[in-house]
């Protein structure tokens, strides 16, 4: 069965600094990969997804993620964070042909002035 690991439970970043959130997956083949964001009291919103092709994918709100097959990773990045980026971030995977998502435990992002 596939699994998703987000090794950082909580990250604190200064406003304007760069950000990288880590995600590693375990699966026999390359799954479909996603990053979702959850603001307090809200549902999850899709930031970006990787199905195939270019390993660097662009998403909404200035986020990007890079798929590295050799490392089984799909890390999320942003060059300059804004206070409004404070939220919980979830990495998720879905095997090809299966709509069911498997989520990581999430990384809580705190932004300090």
Partner 1 sequence: EADIYQTPRYLVIGTGKKITLECSQTMGHDKMYWYQQDPGMELHLIHYSYGVNSTEKGDLSSESTVSRIRTEHFPLTLESARPSHTSQYLCASSETGIAYEQYFGPGTRLTVT
- Where does this chain bind partner 1 (CB under 8 A)? 4, 9, 32, 34, 36, 41-46, 49, 51, 90, 94, 99-106
We find the least distance from the C-beta atom of residue 18 to partner 1, in angstroms, to be 25
Find the length of the chain: 113
We find the least distance from the C-beta atom of residue 38 to partner 1, in angstroms, to be 8
Residue (67 or 102) nearer to partner 1, CB: 102
We find the least distance from the C-beta atom of residue 46 to partner 1, in angstroms, to be 6
Of residues 5, 13, 3, the one with CA closest to residue 86: 13
- Two tokens, residue 3: 């699994």
**Phi-psi label, residue 106: left if phi above 0, alpha if psi -120 to 50, beta otherwise:** left
């Amino acid at each position: 069965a596939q699994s998703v690991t987000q090794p950082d439970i909580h990250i604190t970043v200064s406003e304007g600094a760069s950000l990288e959130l880590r995600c590693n997956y375990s699966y026999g083949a390359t799954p479909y990969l996603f990053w979702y964001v959850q603001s307090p009291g809200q549902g999850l919103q899709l930031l970006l997804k990787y199905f195939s092709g270019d390993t660097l994918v662009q998403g909404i709100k200035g986020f990007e993620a890079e798929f590295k097959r050799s490392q089984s990773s799909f890390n999320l990045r942003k060059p300059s964070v804004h206070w409004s980026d404070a939220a919980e971030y979830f990495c998720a995977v879905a095997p090809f042909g299966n709509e069911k998502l498997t989520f990581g435990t999430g990384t809580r992002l705190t932004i300090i002035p």
